[in-house]
Each structure stands twice: as structure tokens, then as C-alpha cells.
Amino acid sequence: MFGSSLPLPAPTGLPRALYVPIGCAMGGVVLALSLSSLTDGFAARVLLFYVGTALAYALMPYVRRGDIPLVAAWVVLLAELAPCVAGELISPVKVTADVLGVLMATGPIYVARLRQVQQGDVRPGGRRATEAGR
């Protein structure tokens, strides 16, 4: 009973070849929605960026955990700078909502990794290298 392991489900998510096109499409959709009047409210913008970031983590499980918030930061930047072309000022409320949505989706992943490190789950350097390359 104690020596048996539980069967794990097969990895889910998109094939890695689709990560870039799907990621670009998701970023474009989030950007388009953030520029529309549907997301003028604070809660709507928080929810939009939370769902976009969480969906990226769910669909692309093999992307490094830091890459998704980095791309999300670029989408936030584009969402705030695009209205400047039309002469509008950057809204601190919208920036705060966008960043808060990304942080709400990203925070638990970093907290989970912090817990793993505190429990001693650290691997030696070069863990991404192949066995043949060592």
C-alpha cells in the first residue's frame, strides 16, 4: 500500500509547436478587449488580465514560469500606450487593474515554488541540460 504510486494523468496542454501562434493570438485578443469599451471598469480589466494570464499557464505548461508574466507585461504596456497614439493619457487606474490581474494569476505559482524551495526541492545547476550534454 505504501510502496505503490498513483497513476498520473497524461500531460495536458497544447503541443509545443503551437505555443507561439496561440500565445500571439491570446495576446492579441486580450489587447483588443482591453482597448474596447467592454473593459472600461476596474473589475472587468482585472478579470480580463487574470483570465488571459491563467489561460496561458493552463494551455502552455512547458513554458518557463517567468516567461508568461514577461509577455503579459508587454501586453499591459501595449494596452496602455495604444490610446496615447490617439492623444489620450495613460490611466493609472487601468494600469493598476491590468497589473493586478497578472499578479493574481502569477502569484500562486511563485508561492508554490517558494514552498518547494523551503522544503528542500532544489535541483543542481544545469537541470535543463540533456544527459548527453553533461
Tens-place pLDDT, residues 89-111:
999 999 999 999 999 999 999 99
Domain contains 101: yes
Domain contains 85: yes
- pLDDT score for 2: 62
91-114 core/surface letters (b: 16 or more CB in 10 A; e: else): eeebeebbbebbbebbeebeeeee
* Domain of 101, in residue numbers: 16-118
Apex 72 CA angle, 70 and 77, nearest 5: 100
Apex 28 CA angle, 48 and 32, nearest 5: 60
Separation between Cα atoms, residue 70 and residue 55, nearest integer Å: 15
Apex 14 CA angle, 121 and 54, nearest 5: 65
Query: Which three cell numbers, joined as nine digits, stand for 19?
Result: 505555443
pLDDT band with cut points at 50, 70 and 90 for residue 22: very high
Question: How confident is the model over 61-88, as a mean pLDDT?
Answer: 92
Domain contains 123: no
Domain contains 8: no
**Higher local confidence (pLDDT), 11 or 19:** 19
Q: Looking up cell 509547436, which residue turns up? A: 17
128 by Cβ neighbours in 10 Å (0-12 / 13-18 / 19+) ranks as: exposed
Query: Do 23 and 56 contact (CB within 8 A), yes or no?
Result: yes
Domain contains 129: no
- pTM given for the model: 0.80
Domain contains 110: yes
Domain total for the chain?
A: 1
Query: Do 27 and 75 contact (CB within 8 A), yes or no?
Result: yes
Domain contains 73: yes
What percent of the chain lies above the pLDDT cut of 90?
63
- pLDDT score for 104: 96
Residue range 23-62, pLDDT digits in tens: 999 999 999 999 999 999 999 999 999 999 999 999 998 8
- pLDDT score for 98: 96
Separation between Cα atoms, residue 66 and residue 17, nearest integer Å: 19
Domain contains 98: yes
